[in-house]
Amino acid sequence: MFTFTRKEILNLIIAFIVLAVAFAISTVKLDVHRFISVLPIVMVGVAIGSLSHELGHKYVAMKYGYQAEFKAWPIGLLIALASSFIGIVFAFPGEIRTNADNITDEMNGKISIAGPMANMVLALIFIAIAILAYPLMSYSLIFTLIYLIGTVGFSVNAFLATFNLFPIYSLDGTKVLKWNIVYWIIAFAIAGSMLLISIGIGAENMVKLIIEM
């Protein structure tokens, strides 16, 4: 059963808001009107993606019997916001902290990989939603909005999964790699492929290609 402290909820809200703003800025730069238009769409993908990522960590940690609480990292959030102006978000929102004193590499690796896995699953769900909404866009603006949320949600979650799997600093990839290099390679290859599709082909073009097959 998930339990959250008031401090943890506040930290999650702050991280979500900063990440949403950062991803919106990275998409439209300093175009205020486009920023206002794209922010609500980005917020859905970031909200679900970032929350699911942290809940994935939290669930597995609690499954092992540890207390787990999300703690935002102010400097990391500032880095995310600052980097967004160059078109890429270096997302270091924070981490799930546990009360584990003698945690093994295997447990730490499983806790760490749960977040990126949640993002990969969400990316597939978002692109499936976009595929279903695409043929219906001519009927209603609501379906157009759902389609946009789906494509943006795919891109955001593909990025979150890939970025967090990099084996640098305190990112999830470092702990997963230390636990099992094979699992890290598989997870990074899948997440990286999603991100390359998002950057190279584009989620919108991918939807069109799938429908036309």
Domain boundaries, the chain: 6-212
pLDDT at 204: 87
Question: Is 54 annotated as catalytic?
Answer: yes
- Give tens-digit pLDDT for 53-112: 888 888 888 888 888 888 888 898 899 888 888 888 887 887 777 776 678 889 889 999
- Give tens-digit pLDDT for 4-63: 788 888 998 898 888 888 888 888 877 788 888 888 888 888 888 888 888 888 888 888
Count helices and strands in the chain by DSSP H and E runs:
8, 2
- Give tens-digit pLDDT for 187-203: 999 999 999 999 888 88
User: What integer is the mean pLDDT of 170-176?
Assistant: 89
Query: Which residue, chain included where needed, has tokens 């190279």?
Result: 200
Q: What percent of the chain has pLDDT over 70?
A: 98
CB 50 within 8 A of CB 16: yes
Give 122's pLDDT tier (boundaries 50, 70, 90): very high
Give 213's pLDDT tier (boundaries 50, 70, 90): confident
Give pTM, 2 decimals.
Answer: 0.86
pLDDT at 100: 67
User: What integer is the mean pLDDT of 110-132?
Assistant: 94
Amino acid at the residue 151: T
- Give tens-digit pLDDT for 153-167: 999 899 999 999 999
More confident position, 117 or 211: 117
Amino acid at the residue 108: N
| d(C-alpha 99, C-alpha 206), whole Å | 43
Sign of the alpha-carbon torsion through 79, 84, 87, 88: positive
pLDDT at 1: 60
User: What integer is the mean pLDDT of 155-182?
Assistant: 91
List the catalytic residue out of 8, 54, 69, 95: 54
